[in-house]
Amino acid sequence: MPSGARAKQFMPFDALKGFQEALRSKEQPTEPRKELPEDWAEELDRRLRRICLGDFVTAEYFRNGTYVRITGKISNIDQTAKILGIEGCQIPFADLSDLQGEIFAMQ
């Protein structure tokens, strides 16, 4: 067998044509988690203590290497597990970077 033909049998086989390109297009750049200044962490803690079920808020939190914003009514506040529920989304307190709402504007 000629060496060129023999080499072809060992070439990589791409069973899913275009799959690697599709994966690359879906990749999102990640950003490092921000270290909150101590005064802002204290303010965020105060805000978490002031909110009630049904309050309408906007929360910014860290998830999967990026910061996400969600706006909606608070559906759950678990002080023991330290989880905030907004419209069915469960957010650990430690992942929160901002919490805004009308309740905080009335201070």
State pLDDT tens for residues 82-105: 999 998 899 999 999 999 988 776
- Find the mean pLDDT for residues 3-29: 70
Q: Distance between CA 65 and CA 82 in Å, rounded?
A: 20
Beta bridge partners of 96: 61
The topology (CATH level 3) of 37-107 is: SH3 type barrels. (2.30.30)
Residue 27 tokens read as 């990749």
Q: Is the pLDDT confidence value at 107 over 70? A: no
Segments making up each domain of the chain, as ranges: 37-107
State pLDDT tens for residues 27-70: 777 788 889 999 999 999 999 999 999 999 999 999 988 899 99
- Find the mean pLDDT for residues 19-24: 78
pLDDT given at position 11: 60
Q: Confidence band (pLDDT; 50, 70, 90) for 18?
A: confident
Task: Provide φ and ψ at 50, rounded to 5°.
Answer: -85, -20
